[in-house]
Chain A
Amino acid sequence: MTLPTPYPIQRQHKGKLAINVLRSSEPLGTAEVEEFLAGRDIPIVEGPKCTFLYRGEVDAVAVRHRIVNQPQHVPMRRIEGTDLWFVVIELPAHSRVEYQIEVRVGAVVETFNDPLNPHVAHSPVGSSSVLQASGYETPAWVLPQPDARPGELVDWVLPSTALRRTTHNRIYLPARFRRSSHYPLLVVHDGDDYITYSAMKTVLDNLIHNLDMAETIVVFTNSGDRLKEYPNYAPHARYITRELLPAIEAELPVVRRSDSRCLMGASFGAVASLSTAYRSRGTWDNLLLQSGSFVFTDIGSDHGGGPAFDPVMKFMNRYRAKPRRVADRMYISCGIYEPLIVPNRSMVPVFESTGAKVRYVEARDGHSWENWRDRLRDGLSWIFPGPQKLVYE
């Protein structure tokens, strides 16, 4: 089931944009620019119009973003008589865009986060500035809630014969965990990144506290070399299903049924989840796949993703040629500003054709940890719904 994203109609900005008011004012110098910038949130969001700004004596400035099918290098213009540069970009309501500023002085080009914007998103490959377009709000449930009882994160080391290395994982035990209870099991790829960049522990605490999600044991796994282990790598699937799962079942009170197990991951982690479930038929009945790198080709083998995607492309092409049911329930999300939106959209009917119950959600966001964070409530509460409907204080 593809869910329409319910975006409200965006309110148009009435009157002149702030930047145009500044440009038409006289005199216009350093003092006026400083007064203009003082206390303002940058970029300036006025309805769908977002004004990006930069101050500096440089030769050229541009905004660099990764919105697919849009010019990703957007030059700024300098306001005459000042050192202020600007460009106005139109963005739909509720968009969240990560970007950087590119500056050229002579032949030297530098790219960095927007010095006028304190809002930064982090990821394993660095940080980016964040523009939150009109209507976007950071969900309350990603922030620590004082009344939510915190679960516990426990380090868990497991030697793996399949991977020929020691794996370093973290286990999340829900608040008020009891060995006498039985819990569903969620295994998360790129676990530390989900904890660090998607606030997943806080999210779990909040969702479980609010009864939106069932009390769940979560294993946050980490790869040694994700480009090798995640794209349909047999030893990885063996590790997850034949080593990690039995070890967890031996150690913790998890429900020993496939419908109470879920594999989860983003990007290559989604491929790892899908291929592991594919290789371990009947073991993992739930998948939570975010911005899956489901690259495939219809003709030939030129997928445009580089050598790391070769095994993905082979796996996905083979799967598309002969789809079979991998899981009973699949939650799939993707940002509409990322290039992977096309393969993700394309895979939904393929998965549905196998009889899987698919919940597919799109967001006005990119290939980013905050996008994946913002979809966690929807995904986790669909995969392992909490008892909200049955619990009455």
Chain B
Amino acid sequence: MPAEAEPPDADPRITFLGPQRTPRVPHVVRHLGLRGRRFGMITAGWRDRETDDALLSDLLGGNTVNLGLWGLMQQVWEADPELAAADHRRRTVHTEMQELYLIGLEQANEAARRIRLHEPRDPRVVKESLMDVVDIMRTLDQRHVSRVDELNADFYERYQPQHRDAVVAGRFRVGRAVADCEAIAITGGHVGVLMGAMHVFNLGPALASPAVPDPLEDAGLRGATDPDDLPPPRLLRPVLAWGAGAMALTERIVLFYDHAVTSPGVSEVLMGGLGLTRGVVALPSPRERLDMRDRRRLGVLARRALPRRGVLLDQRTTVTLTADGRLPDDARVLGSDGIVTTYRQSLLDEAPTEPPLAVGPTGAGGEEVR
């Protein structure tokens, strides 16, 4: 899908790419009119290999600076052991929450499998039961995100990292570096590490100015608006992102891998992302990570994400979002019936009450069931 060529400064956009094994970055940079611009590179997802960025720098045109978030984070932990220990505890609790949430998902998954094996006397009844299971999964997803948000908010409130010397110094350095850049490139890698680093150094506000507050809501004249309905923060400079980088920019980070050796094979929400998009779940390398033949499974993944759409970021994909952070009409997304379609078509097709679930015993094993 062609990227939109527009003046990059007037209307900065987010551009998602597929995995860069065969790099398309130079082509996209040229196409977006960003050639020769100074790029800030975020490679924190590569962890201790963060600085192995020579090739990426070349691909971006050579006028680059690596924000070095992972390295800075290590410096913060070293300089502030109390914060390091607290953050370790936060991550430990998050891991435990993730494990327990997954147990719930597995149970729902097992329920779906058993319902599907049921010989239907009335297919409608079975269909409704399966819809209930998807609803339960959606509820689990939502509650998990809320609890992780609470955990993080509690950590920030209790330990005030934003007021600690090491973090303040790091944020200042990152802020200065970002301010000198005309565009940002965020690579893939470990999405948890990347998110952690971006939060600590406050990359959200560095990349975009906050959404305009609603004066009526502020004055108490209107109830709180669903954050999903708010306009996204206004991007300050163009951002290229792929893999974990693309996931980090969205509202919700969904982990998925159908071919894991021992994990249960249920996609799971990790946490909220930076929220610079609207209605988007990034699905990098879908052909490698998802069983694309299993429509049921894909359908449930899509329905759990609704009203967001799972955008498929394959090898040669380039998707430039609209100015308000939404998918373009021709972006390839996962339809709620498990079939790949365009974003526009998926909006037309949306039938929220009808699950994409066939009934009766099958050999396929079910959407999330292996």
- Footprint of B on A, CB under 8 Å? 176, 178, 180-181, 212, 359, 377-378, 381-382, 385, 387-393
Residues of A close to B321: CB separation below 8 A: none
Are B257 and A389 in contact, with the CB atoms below 8 A? Answer: yes
Nearest chain A residue, comparing its CB with the CB of B247: A392
Q: Which residues of B contact A382 (CB under 8 A)?
A: 261-262
Within 8 A of A (CB), among B12-28: 19-21
B263 neighbours in A (Cβ, 8 Å): 385, 389
Interface positions, chain B 47-82, Cβ under 8 Å from A, are 48-49
* A390 CB contact (under 8 Å) in B19, B48, B49, B190: B190
Q: Is B285 in contact with chain A by the CB < 8 A criterion?
A: yes
Say yes or no: B49 contacts A388, CB within 8 Å. no
The residue on B at minimum CB distance from A178 is B48
From known contacts A176-B49, A378-B261, infer whether A390 and B192 are also in contact, taking CB-CB under 8 Å: yes
Residues of B within 8 A of A392 (CB): 45, 188-189, 191, 243-244, 246-247, 284-285
Question: Is there a chain A Cβ closer than 8 Å to B260's Cβ?
Answer: yes
Interface contact B260-A388, CB-CB below 8 Å: yes
Cβ-defined partner of A388 (8 Å) among B188, B192, B242, B257: B257
- Does A390 lie within 8 Å of B255, measured CB to CB? yes
> How far is the CB of A149 from the nearest CB of chain B, in Å?
12
Contact B262 A390 (CB under 8 A): no
Q: Could you tell me if B284 and A393 are in contact, using CB atoms closer than 8 angstroms?
A: yes
- Residues 233-255 of B contacting A (Cβ, < 8 Å): 242-244, 246-247, 255
Residues of A within 8 A of B188 (CB): 391-393
On whether the beta carbons of B255 and A393 are closer than 8 Å, the reply is no
For B313, the closest partner residue in chain A by CB is A392
B residues apposed to A, CB below 8 Å: 19-21, 45, 48-49, 188-192, 242-244, 246-247, 255-257, 260-263, 270, 284-285
Instruction: For the complex, give the distance between the alpha carbons of A382 and B263 in Å.
Output: 8
Distance A390 CA – B289 CA, assembled complex (angstroms): 12
Which of chain A's residues has its CB closest to B242's CB? Answer: A393
Among B20, B257, B284, chain A packs the most CB atoms within 10 A around the CB of B257
Q: Which of B20, B21, B244, B256 contacts A391 (CB 8 A)?
A: B244
A393 touches B48 (CB 8 A): no
Q: Which residues of A contact B45 (CB under 8 A)?
A: 391-392
The residue among B188, B262, B284, B285 with the most chain A CB atoms within 10 A of its own CB is B262
Cβ–Cβ < 8 Å partners of A212 in chain B = 260-261
User: A260 to nearest B CB, angstroms?
Assistant: 13
Nearest-Cβ distance from residue B261 to partner chain A, whole angstroms: 4
Partner of B262, one of A180, A378, A387: A378
What residue in chain B is nearest A382 (Cβ atoms)?
A: B262
Residues of B within 8 A of A385 (CB): 262-263
Q: CB distance B48 to A181 under 8 Å? A: yes
Q: Closest residue to B289 on the A side, CB-wise?
A: A392
Q: Closest residue to B243 on the A side, CB-wise?
A: A392
Min CB distance B292 to A, Å, is 17
Distance between Cα atoms of A212 and B261 in the complex (Å): 7
Q: Is the CB of A381 within 8 A of B262?
A: yes
Contacts of B255 in A (CB 8 A): 389-390
The one of A180, A378, A388, A391 in contact with B189, judged by C-beta atoms closer than 8 angstroms, is A391
Give the chain B neighbours of A178 by CB distance below 8 A.
Answer: 48
State the CA gap A43–B67 with chains docked (Å).
Answer: 62
- Nearest-neighbor residue (CB-CB) of A210 within chain B: B261
> In the complex, what distance in Å separates the CA atom of A178 from the CA atom of B52?
14
How far does the Cβ of A214 sit from chain B's closest Cβ, in whole Å?
A: 12
How far, in whole Å, are A389 and B247 apart by their CA atoms in the complex? 13
Q: Indicate which residue in B257, B270, B285 contacts A393 across the interface (CB closer than 8 Å).
A: B285
- Nearest-Cβ distance from residue B303 to partner chain A, whole angstroms: 21
Residues of A within 8 A of B256 (CB): 389
